[in-house]
Amino acid sequence: MAKKEISQAVIQRLPRYYRYLEELMEQGLERISSNELSKRMKLTASQIRQDLNNFGGFGQQGYGYRIQKLHDEIARILSLNEEHSMILIGAGHLGQALANYSNFQKRGFLLRAVFDVKPELIGTEVAGLKVLPMEELERVIEESGPRLAALCVPKDAALPVAERLVSLGIKGIWNFAPVDLELPEQVVVENVHLSESLMRLSYRMRELSES
């Protein structure tokens, strides 16, 4: 049987479901209806049911969703119940902020090594790890076998570094460089453009001031 194609819009909403369900669990709630969840998430109840039906539904007519069960199922869909070894390239301010992000380990992402090319950063400590020179990249990947890499490097360095990572077996890249990476199809790239997000905020602020 052919694997069902899930739209990118649905995939992008899954982390939001996970986050809201986590908040509901922290409040001590045990179940919730699609109507109640829709009010919290600003989605229609129909949209929520359609999204979750892509993966089996998980709810009961007249009962709603068991929050813990739905949270666990979404964690499984997002592979958050597995461990993901990751390395970080770029130990500047952004790289350090990412490395010290407390939710990494909570979500199953284990930072194994941090790399940089700047002599003044090499040997310093970031998130309990000594910053290594890029010459150590092959050895570390061979020894620890990470599949993911976070990229916090300048624009001009992003593609050469990414291609080097792919040649060493990295399968997923979390890219914070201000450029869209074009890599082989078997490599997953998540581009995070902070400046674009800031520009969208600026546009919405202008809209608000003109309304």
Report pTM.
Answer: 0.83
pLDDT tens sequence across 11-62: 889 999 999 999 999 999 999 988 999 998 999 989 998 998 888 867 666 6
Say whether both 111 and 71 belong to one domain: no
Domain region containing 44 = 8-77
Mean pLDDT, rounded, for 95-111: 88
> What is the count of structural domains for the chain?
2
Say whether both 98 and 35 belong to one domain: no
Say whether both 100 and 172 belong to one domain: yes
- Tell me, letter by letter, the H, E, C secondary structure of the chain: CCCCCCCHHHHHHHHHHHHHHHHHHHCCCCEECHHHHHHHHCCCHHHHHHHHHCCCCCCECCCEEEHHHHHHHHHHHCCCCCCEEEEEECCCHHHHHHHCCCHHHHCCEEEEEEEECCCCCCCCEECCEEEEEHHHHHHHHHHHCCCEEEECCCHHHHHHHHHHHHHCCCCEEEECCCCCCCCCCCCEEEECCHHHHHHHHHHHHHHHHHC
pLDDT tens sequence across 170-191: 999 999 999 999 899 999 999 9
Kindly state the percentage of the chain with pLDDT values over 90: 66
Range with lowest mean pLDDT among 59-63, 75-79, 130-134, 189-193: 59-63
Say whether both 102 and 156 belong to one domain: yes
